[in-house]
């Protein structure tokens, strides 16, 4: 159910990945897709192509050093395969953000339906307005610090 979207649980399933290399979004997507633990049935290549395709339409940078790269279509079939990955980049990259700030953190959601996807993106956008959550990402905190901050969302 959409009302059951649990950002903290999705983060726990996805995880946090540090030192993602790449000088461009495309290079970072390649590094991410090779590094993250994907649900069964989703290949790194398929995720990479979906992220690149979406990025070619319009930048997924949301400002303040963050981007939410995502597919235009659901990539997983089962509710239990939904997850969110937090990826800290080795070096900030230019993703044409509206505020011109270079991206240092990518948050990548995987969802099983368009409705769930929109709900997750909406909650992530709200979370990024929370000063504590934003600070935790900016200081590259681990899941034990970030997870409790998601409970109110």
Judge whether 50 lies within some domain. Answer: yes
Task: Estimate to the nearest angstrom the gap between the alpha carbon of 72 and the chain centroid.
Answer: 14
Please indicate, yes or no, if residue 33 is contained in any of the structural domains. Answer: yes
> Is 3 domain-assigned?
no
CATH number at residue 48: 3.40.930.10
User: Would the pLDDT of 102 be above 80?
Assistant: yes
Average pLDDT over residues 109-130: 94
Q: Is the pLDDT of residue 1 over 60?
A: no
The full length of the chain comes to 153
Tell me if 87 is assigned to some domain: yes
pLDDT band, residue 153 (cuts 50/70/90): low
Please give the mean pLDDT across all residues of the chain.
95
Write out pLDDT tens, residues 68-85.
999 999 999 999 999 999
Q: Which domain holds residue 17?
A: 12-147
Residue 60 lies in a domain: yes
pLDDT of residue 146: 96
The total domain count for the chain is 1
Residue 4 placed within a domain: no
Cut 0.85: pTM above it? yes
- The CA-atom distances, in angstroms, between 27 and each of 89, 123, 134 are 11, 27, 24
Residue 93 lies in a domain: yes
Nearest 5°: phi and psi at 132? -70, -45
The 10 Å CB-count burial string (b at 16+, else e) for 36-65 is bebbeebeeeebbebbeebbeeebbbbebb
Query: pLDDT (tens digit, 9 = 90+) per residue, 37-77?
Result: 999 999 999 999 999 999 999 999 999 999 999 999 999 99
Residue 5: what pLDDT?
77
């Amino acid at each position: 159910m959409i009302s059951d979207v649990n950002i903290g649980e999705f983060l726990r399933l996805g995880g946090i990945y540090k030192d993602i290399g790449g000088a461009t979004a495309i290079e970072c997507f390649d590094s991410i897709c090779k590094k993250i633990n994907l649900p069964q049935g989703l290949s790194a290549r398929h995720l990479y192509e979906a992220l690149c395709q979406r990025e070619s339409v319009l930048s997924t940078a949301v400002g303040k050093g963050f981007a939410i790269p995502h597919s235009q279509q659901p990539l997983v079939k089962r509710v239990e395969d939904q997850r969110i990955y937090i990826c800290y980049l080795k070096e900030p990259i230019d993703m044409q953000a509206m505020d011109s700030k270079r991206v240092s953190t990518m948050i990548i959601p995987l969802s099983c339906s368009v409705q769930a996807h929109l709900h997750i993106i909406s909650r992530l956008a709200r979370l990024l307005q929370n000063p504590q959550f934003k600070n935790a990402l900016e200081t590259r905190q681990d899941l034990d610090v970030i997870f409790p901050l998601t409970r109110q969302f």
